[in-house]
């Protein structure tokens, strides 16, 4: 049985479930190893300060991966992610609560079950650190 929402049950403007994350310096090191992004601003306070940053910063692509988790958690087993695009807007710092959010922006009227979402990551200051869009395909009711 799928936990995927049906196209017909998703109203315009509806919020999908928010995902909370708390990135840690340890996770940044682990992500650097997995992604190959060893930019010292992600693990070296002195290197971050030399770039004018108040501390080490979370990889933008790690925040993007958290947004992807939010989407796939919501999509369940029968939904399909068709398109995904984000841009990086502000810094995320380790130890801060990161809120991953999304709303239904558009629903296709062609019968294909396509839904466009506005997605973003928000830091404790209310800044959208990463924002973008995703197009998903949801099952239709029989």
- 65 Cβ neighbours under 8 A, 6+ residues apart: none
Write the pLDDT tens digit of every residue in 46-82.
Answer: 999 999 999 999 999 999 999 999 999 999 999 999 9
Angle subtended at Cα 13 by Cα 11 and Cα 14, rounded to the nearest 5 degrees: 60
Strands (E), the chain: 19-21, 80-88, 98-107, 114-122, 128-137
Cα dihedral across residues 125, 103, 59, 87: positive or negative: negative
Separation between Cα atoms, residue 123 and residue 136, nearest integer Å: 25
Computed over every residue of the chain, the mean pLDDT equals: 95
- Token match 């928010």: residue? 18
Separation between Cα atoms, residue 127 and residue 138, nearest integer Å: 30
Q: What is the pLDDT averaged over residues 99-104?
A: 98
Q: What domains are there in the chain, each with its CATH number?
A: 7-23+58-137 (3.10.129.10)
pLDDT of residue 2: 57
């Amino acid at each position: 049985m799928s936990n995927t929402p049906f196209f017909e049950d998703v109203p315009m403007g509806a919020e999908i479930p928010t995902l909370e994350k708390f990135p840690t310096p340890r996770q940044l090191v682990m992500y650097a190893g997995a992604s190959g992004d060893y930019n010292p601003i992600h693990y070296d306070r002195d290197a971050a300060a030399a770039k004018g940053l108040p501390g080490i910063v979370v990889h933008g692509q790690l925040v993007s991966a958290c947004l992807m988790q939010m989407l796939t958690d919501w999509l369940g087993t029968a939904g399909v992610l068709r398109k995904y695009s984000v841009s990086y807007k502000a810094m995320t710092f380790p130890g801060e609560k990161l809120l991953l959010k999304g709303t239904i922006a558009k629903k296709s009227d062609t019968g294909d079950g396509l839904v466009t979402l506005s997605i973003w990551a928000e830091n404790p200051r209310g800044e959208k650190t990463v924002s973008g869009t995703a197009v998903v395909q949801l099952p239709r009711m029989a």
